[in-house]
C-alpha cells in the first residue's frame, strides 16, 4: 500500500503544483488547548472502560441515540448556535450547523463532518475528533473575524458506527441515497429489539423536519465535505508522519463462508471417515491469508463459529467464518475473492470424506476516489504545516461518512496518527499535538478550498 | 488401528484356544422381537428430533435425571423386580439389579451394564441398547429356567453422557473411586445452575442408601462387568463385521489452547502489524491434524471460539480451541501432544507480530486394557455366533462406564455396528439383527464367563 501511495504522491504533487504550492496559509491559528478541553469535556458523556489513573484515561461507550449521545448533541447544538450558526436537523437526526460568510451565497456550505457516536468499547478520538476539530475551526474563524467567501459549517452524522443500530455509516448512507430511509429507521437496537432507530430519534427530539438527502429542494446539499479522522492504523506512526492526505478508500467485500461437515465422535471416527468442517475452515483461513499476501491485499477472518452444542469430543457439524477482503483496486479484491473460492473448493475435497461449503456476499463496497480539488487543498495545507516528508498520500482502509458524501459532493479526508494504530478500543489515543495539527490542517484545507475551488471555481 | 488389532487377534486366539474354543453355547436364544419392542417402547420417554415418518424415526433427548429419565428408571425397576431381581440403588442413583442363581453365592454378581441417559441430540442405541439387552438376557434365562452358577445382574449407571451434569461416565467414576462423590453431587445442570445432580437425585427418589463404591462392606462390588454398546464408529460396518471384541480403550488427552492476539481494524492494519489469533489458531489446527496423521493417531478440534464481541472487520483479540488427542498407546498420545505444542510455538512466532498462547490439560485418560478372561469369553461367543471373519478385536475410541469398572472388576465390551458410524445424533441406528446378535453374544459371554472364570476359577 505504501509504495503505491508514493507513486501517486509525485503525480498529484505535479498536477496541482501550479495552483496550490504558491498559496499562503490563512494566518489563523487554532486554539489547541480549547480543542483538547472540549474534546475531553464532552467525553464525560459516555466515558467507560477505565485503563489508567488519569480521569481521562478511559474509553467511550456513547452509542448512537443513547442518553449520552443526546447530551453531547444538545451541547453541540448550543455551541454552534453561540457561533451564530443556523442548525438544521434532518429526518435521520444528522445535524448541519451553517455559518454565513462574506458572499452570503446560497451555494451549499463547505462542510467539515464526522460523528459523535462511538463503539461500545471505543475510544475518545474516532469520529469525535472530527466534529470537535470542525467546531474549533469555526470558533477560530469567528474570534478572528476571518471571512471565507462561502458559508462553512459542521455536520454530525448519526449512527456512523452502526454499533447499536447495525448499519455502519448509516445516516450519511441515507443522505447519499444509498440506504433507504425506511430501512434505516427500522434498524433495531441489537440488545433491545423493541427499540428502533426511529423511536430513539423521536424520543430525543432528533427526528428533524428536512429530508435526509443532498437534494437542494428538500434536503441539505453540501458544497464539499472535509473529514479529519484518526488513521486507525499504524502507517503514519511507523513512518514518522503527522498528516495523511486521504485520496480515497479501499474497496472491500465481506463474505460469510459456511462449511458443512458431519458431526462424529472424535474417538471412534478415523480421519478417513470424517467430514470435518473445523479442519477445512482452518485450512481455508490460512490459505486466504497467503493468497491476499501474494496480491499485496488484505484478507481477514474476524469471526469463526461452531454450533453452540459443539463439544471437545465431537467433530462439529458445521462452521461459519467471515472473510473481509480489501485492496485499493476493485479488480484485486475480485481476484483475491476468486482465488480464495477456488482454493476453498480444493480444500473442501481434501481430508477424509471432504466437506461442502457455501458462501454469501454480505457487503460489496467498491473502491472510492476522493475529489482531486479537495485532496489538493489538503495537500497544500500539509505542505505548509509539516512539509512533504511528514505527510503522505494514503488510501483509507476503513469506511467513513466521507465515502458516502463523496458520491454527492467533493470530498476528502485528513488522517492523523493514533498510538500503535489502535482504534475501536478504550486505549485509542491521539496526542494533543497531532489533534491540533490535524485541526489546523482542516482549517487550512477549508480556507484553500474556499479560495480556489468552491462555488464552481 | 485396524492393522494393530489384527496382530492382537491371532495372539489372543492362540492364548485362549484350549479353554474357550471347545465350549458349547448356552442353547438359549434371546427373543429379538421383545428386545426391539422394549428398546423402542422405552424410547417414548425422551423421544425427540424426528427425522423420518415412522413413529420410531426420532432421536432422543433423555438427559440424566430429567422426568423422562426418572420414568424409564421406574420402568426398569418394575421389570427387573418382575424377574425376581433384588434392586439396590447407591448414593449416585446407580441401579443394580441382581438375580440369585444356582450356588446362591455371596460372591459379587456378574454384571451387564450400561446407561439409559442420552445426549440432548442423541440416538436410541448409545447406552440404551446395553441396558435393554442385559434385561433381555435375564428374561431369556428366567423363562428358560437357565441357571448360571453365580448371581448375574444388570447395572444402569447414572449420567454417563455428562450432557446435563458435565462429567462423563460420572457415576461409574464415583463407584471406581476416581471421582469424589461431593464433586459429582455438586455438578450443576448446564442450563439451570440452581439445580444440582444431588438435588435431582433427591427429587426423583434416587439418592440411594448404599455407598457408591466397589467396597464389599458398604458399596456394591461387581464380579465382572460386560457392556454391549454400539461401536460409534464406522470400522465394523466398513469391514463387514458384526461383533467387535473390545480389549481396551484408547488413551486420550483433552487440551484447551488459548491464543492471544490483539484486536485491530482489518481495513487499516497491515499484516505486518497484526497479532492475529484466528490465523494462528487455524494454522495450529491444520498442523495438529498432520502431526496426528503421521503417528497414526487422532487429533481433533471440536470447539473453536472467538469473543462474543468479535466482528467481521476486527482482528479478534483471542481464540480458544480444544484439542483431543487419542491413540491406543499412551506414549504416542504424549508424543503427539509434545510435537503439537512445539509446532504451535513456531506458528505463534510467525505472521505479523506473532501471538502468544497458553494451554491447559483438561482431561488425561490413559489407555485401558480390559480383562483377558472377559475378552476371551466374548471371543468365544463371537466365534460361536459369527465366526472369526465376522468379528474382530478392537480398541474403544470413546470412553465408557466399562473403562471405570475395569479398575475394580474384570471387564470387557462387545461392539455392534451402527449405520455410517453415526452416534450422538438423532439418526444413530443399529439394525434389529445387529441388536439381537449383540445381545446373544452378551448372553453367551456371560454364560461362558460364569462357567470358566467366575468365582475365582
Q: What is the pLDDT of residues A410-423, one digit of tens each?
A: 999 999 999 999 99
Position B139 scores a pLDDT of 98
What CATH number should be reported for the domain holding residue A22? Answer: 3.40.630.10
Say if residues A229 and A130 touch (Cβ distance below 8 Å).
Answer: yes
For residues B29 and B152, state if they share a domain.
Answer: yes
For residue A456, name the pLDDT band (cuts at 50, 70, 90): low
pLDDT digits (tens, 9 = 90+) for A292-301: 999 999 999 9
Q: Do A421 and B264 count as a contact with CB atoms less than 8 A apart?
A: yes
Position A311 scores a pLDDT of 86
For residues B309 and B397, state if they share a domain.
Answer: no
Phi and psi torsions of A415, nearest 5°? -105, 140
Q: Do B254 and A309 count as a contact with CB atoms less than 8 A apart?
A: no
Flag whether residue B269 sits within 8 Å of chain A, measured between CB atoms: yes
Q: What is the dihedral of CA B329, B331, B337, B342, to 10 degrees?
A: -150
A404 has pLDDT over 70: yes
Q: Do B268 and A1 count as a contact with CB atoms less than 8 A apart?
A: no
Flag whether residue A191 sits within 8 Å of chain B, measured between CB atoms: no
Between the CA of residue A133 and those of A36, A113, A126, A143, what are the distances in Å?
Answer: 9, 9, 12, 15
The distance of Cα A417 from the centroid of its chain, to the nearest Å, equals: 14
Flag whether residue A260 sits within 8 Å of chain B, measured between CB atoms: no
Min Cα distance B441 → chain A (Å) is 22
Residue of B nearest to A293 (CA): B271
Min Cα distance A18 → chain B (Å) is 33
For residue A310, name the pLDDT band (cuts at 50, 70, 90): confident
Residue of B nearest to A282 (CA): B282
Q: Give mean pLDDT, residues A363-386.
A: 96
For residues B172 and B310, state if they share a domain.
Answer: no
Which chain B positions have a beta carbon within 8 Å of A319's beta carbon?
Answer: 304
Please say which residue of B310, B333, B365 terminates a domain: B365
Q: Do A265 and B315 count as a contact with CB atoms less than 8 A apart?
A: no
pLDDT digits (tens, 9 = 90+) for A101-131: 999 999 999 999 999 999 998 999 999 999 9
Q: Closest partner residue to A301 among B120, B278, B303, by Cβ?
A: B278
pLDDT digits (tens, 9 = 90+) for A315-346: 999 999 999 999 999 999 999 999 999 999 99
Which chain B positions have a beta carbon within 8 Å of A365's beta carbon?
Answer: none
Q: In chain B, how many domains are there? A: 2
Flag whether residue B310 sits within 8 Å of chain A, measured between CB atoms: yes
Flag whether residue B427 sits within 8 Å of chain A, measured between CB atoms: no
Q: Where are the beta strands (DSSP E) in B151-309?
A: 152-156, 224-230, 243-249, 251-260, 264-265, 298-300, 304-305
For residue A12, name the pLDDT band (cuts at 50, 70, 90): very low
Position A190 scores a pLDDT of 87
For residues B358 and B382, state if they share a domain.
Answer: no
Min Cα distance A302 → chain B (Å) is 5
Q: Do A266 and B303 count as a contact with CB atoms less than 8 A apart?
A: no
For residues B294 and B411, state if they share a domain.
Answer: no
Residues 6+ apart with CB under 8 A from B178: B404, B407
For residues A343 and A379, state if they share a domain.
Answer: no
Min Cα distance A236 → chain B (Å) is 11
- Chain A interface, best mutation among B167, B252, B268, by max A CB count within 10 A: B268
Q: Do A233 and B425 count as a contact with CB atoms less than 8 A apart?
A: no
Cell of B271: 499484516
Q: Do B263 and A425 count as a contact with CB atoms less than 8 A apart?
A: yes
Flag whether residue B160 sits within 8 Å of chain A, measured between CB atoms: no
Q: Do B312 and A322 count as a contact with CB atoms less than 8 A apart?
A: yes
What CATH number should be reported for the domain holding residue A323? Answer: 3.30.70.360
Residue of A nearest to B164 (CA): A309
For residues B50 and B151, state if they share a domain.
Answer: yes
Q: Which residues of B106-125 are buried (b: 16+ CB within 10 A; e: fewer)?
A: eebbbbbbbbbbbbbbbbbb
A5 has pLDDT over 50: no
The distance of Cα A133 from the centroid of its chain, to the nearest Å, equals: 16
Flag whether residue A103 sits within 8 Å of chain B, measured between CB atoms: no
For residues B79 and B126, state if they share a domain.
Answer: yes
- DSSP assignment, residue A167? -
Q: Closest partner residue to B302 among A266, A397, A422, by Cβ?
A: A266
Residues 6+ apart with CB under 8 A from A445: A226, A374, A377, A378, A380, A381, A412, A414
Q: Do B421 and A286 count as a contact with CB atoms less than 8 A apart?
A: no
A394 has pLDDT over 80: yes
Q: Is B192 exposed, middle or buried (0-12, 13-18, 19+ CB in 10 A)?
A: exposed
Q: Is B445 exposed, middle or buried (0-12, 13-18, 19+ CB in 10 A)?
A: buried
Q: Do A271 and B264 count as a contact with CB atoms less than 8 A apart?
A: no
Flag whether residue B361 sits within 8 Å of chain A, measured between CB atoms: no
Domain region containing A46: 2-250+367-456
For residues B148 and B244, state if they share a domain.
Answer: yes
Q: Do A278 and B302 count as a contact with CB atoms less than 8 A apart?
A: yes
Please say which residue of B303, B331, B365 terminates a domain: B365
- Chain A interface, best mutation among B236, B302, B402, by max A CB count within 10 A: B302
A15 has pLDDT over 60: no
Interface of B with A in 386-405 (CB under 8 A): 396-399
Flag whether residue B232 sits within 8 Å of chain A, measured between CB atoms: yes
Report how far residue B163's alpha carbon sits from residue B190's, in angstroms, rounded to the nearest whole number: 8
Position B17 scores a pLDDT of 42
Q: Closest partner residue to A302 among B283, B289, B312, by Cβ?
A: B312
Q: Do A300 and B315 count as a contact with CB atoms less than 8 A apart?
A: yes
Q: Is A356 exposed, middle or buried (0-12, 13-18, 19+ CB in 10 A)?
A: middle
- Please, what is the average pLDDT of chain A? 93
Between the CA of residue B282 and those of A304, B254, B287, B290, what are the distances in Å?
Answer: 10, 18, 9, 13
Task: Report the 10 Å Cβ neighbour count for A194.
Answer: 7
Min Cα distance A307 → chain B (Å) is 9
Say if residues B241 and B392 touch (Cβ distance below 8 Å).
Answer: yes
The closest alpha carbon to B284, from B314, B261, B308, B251, belongs to B261
What averages of pLDDT result for each successive group of 10 residues across chain B (457 residues)? 34 42 82 98 97 95 98 98 97 98 95 97 96 98 96 98 92 97 96 95 97 97 98 94 97 96 90 96 98 98 92 92 96 98 98 96 92 98 96 95 97 97 92 98 98 75
Please say which residue of B365, B393, B415 terminates a domain: B365
For residues A448 and A315, state if they share a domain.
Answer: no
A136 has pLDDT over 80: yes
Flag whether residue A424 sits within 8 Å of chain B, measured between CB atoms: yes
Residue located via cell numbers 503527522: A242
For residues B338 and B385, state if they share a domain.
Answer: no
Flag whether residue A304 sits within 8 Å of chain B, measured between CB atoms: yes
Q: Closest partner residue to B293 among A271, A298, A326, by Cβ?
A: A271
For residue A83, name the pLDDT band (cuts at 50, 70, 90): very high
For residues B128 and B204, state if they share a domain.
Answer: yes
Residue of A nearest to B421 (CA): A269
Flag whether residue A359 sits within 8 Å of chain B, measured between CB atoms: no
Q: Give mean pLDDT, residues A63-91.
A: 98
Min Cα distance B267 → chain A (Å) is 4
Q: Give mean pLDDT, residues A262-267.
A: 89
Query: How many cross-chain Cβ pairs, A to B, lie less than 8 Å apart?
Result: 198
Amino acid at each position: 500500500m505504501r509504495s503505491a501511495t508514493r507513486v501517486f504522491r509525485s503525480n498529484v504533487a505535479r498536477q496541482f503544483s501550479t495552483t496550490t504550492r504558491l498559496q499562503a496559509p490563512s494566518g489563523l491559528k487554532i486554539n489547541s488547548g480549547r480543542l483538547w478541553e472540549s474534546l475531553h469535556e464532552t467525553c464525560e458523556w459516555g466515558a467507560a472502560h477505565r485503563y489508567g489513573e488519569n480521569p481521562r484515561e478511559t474509553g467511550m461507550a456513547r452509542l448512537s441515540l443513547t442518553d449520552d449521545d443526546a447530551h453531547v448533541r444538545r451541547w453541540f447544538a448550543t455551541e454552534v448556535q453561540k457561533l451564530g450558526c443556523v442548525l438544521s436537523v434532518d429526518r435521520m437526526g444528522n445535524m448541519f450547523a451553517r455559518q454565513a460568510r462574506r458572499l452570503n451565497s446560497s451555494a451549499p456550505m463547505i462542510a467539515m463532518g464526522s460523528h459523535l457516536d462511538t463503539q461500545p468499547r471505543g475510544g475518545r478520538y474516532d469520529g469525535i475528533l472530527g466534529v470537535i476539530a470542525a467546531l474549533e475551526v469555526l470558533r477560530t474563524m469567528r474570534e478572528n473575524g476571518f471571512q471565507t467567501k462561502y458559508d462553512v459549517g459542521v455536520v454530525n452524522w448519526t449512527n456512523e458506527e452502526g454499533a447499536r443500530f447495525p448499519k455502519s455509516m448509516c445516516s450519511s448512507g441515507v443522505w447519499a441515497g444509498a440506504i433507504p430511509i425506511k430501512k434505516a429507521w427500522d434498524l433495531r437496537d441489537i440488545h433491545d429489539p423493541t427499540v428502533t432507530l426511529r423511536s430513539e430519534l423521536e424520543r430525543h427530539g432528533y427526528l428533524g423536519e428536512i429530508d435526509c438527502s443532498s437534494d437542494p429542494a428538500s434536503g441539505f446539499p453540501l458544497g464539499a465535505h472535509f473529514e479529519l479522522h484518526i488513521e486507525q492504523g499504524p502507517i503514519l506512526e511507523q513512518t514518522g508522519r503527522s498528516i495523511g492526505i486521504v485520496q480515497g478508500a479501499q474497496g472491500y467485500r465481506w463474505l460469510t463462508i459456511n462449511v458443512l461437515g458431519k458431526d462424529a465422535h472424535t474417538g471412534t471416527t478415523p480421519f478417513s471417515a470424517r467430514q470435518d468442517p473445523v479442519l477445512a475452515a482452518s485450512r481455508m483461513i490460512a490459505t486466504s491469508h497467503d493468497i491476499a499476501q501474494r496480491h499485496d491485499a488484505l484478507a481477514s477472518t474476524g469471526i469463526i463459529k461452531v454450533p453452540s452444542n459443539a463439544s471437545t469430543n465431537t467433530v462439529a457439524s458445521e462452521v461459519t467464518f467471515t472473510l473481509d477482503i480489501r485492496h485499493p483496486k476493485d479488480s484485486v479484491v475480485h481476484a483475491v475473492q476468486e482465488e480464495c473460492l477456488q482454493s476453498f473448493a480444493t480444500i473442501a475435497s481434501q481430508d477424509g470424506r471432504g466437506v461442502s461449503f457455501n458462501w454469501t456476499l454480505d457487503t460489496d463496497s467498491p473502491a472510492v476516489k476522493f475529489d482531486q480539488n479537495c485532496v489538493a487543498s489538503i495537500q497544500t495545507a500539509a505542505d505548509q504545516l509539516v512539509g512533504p516528508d511528514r505527510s503522505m498520500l494514503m488510501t483509507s482502509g476503513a469506511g467513513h461518512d466521507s465515502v458516502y458524501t463523496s458520491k454527492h459532493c467533493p470530498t476528502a479526508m485528513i488522517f492523523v496518527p493514533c498510538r500503535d494504530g489502535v482504534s475501536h478500543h478504550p486505549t485509542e489515543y491521539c496526542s494533543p499535538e497531532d489533534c491540533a495539527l490535524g485541526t489546523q490542517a482542516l482549517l487550512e484545507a477549508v480556507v484553500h478550498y474556499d479560495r480556489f475551488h468552491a462555488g464552481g471555481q
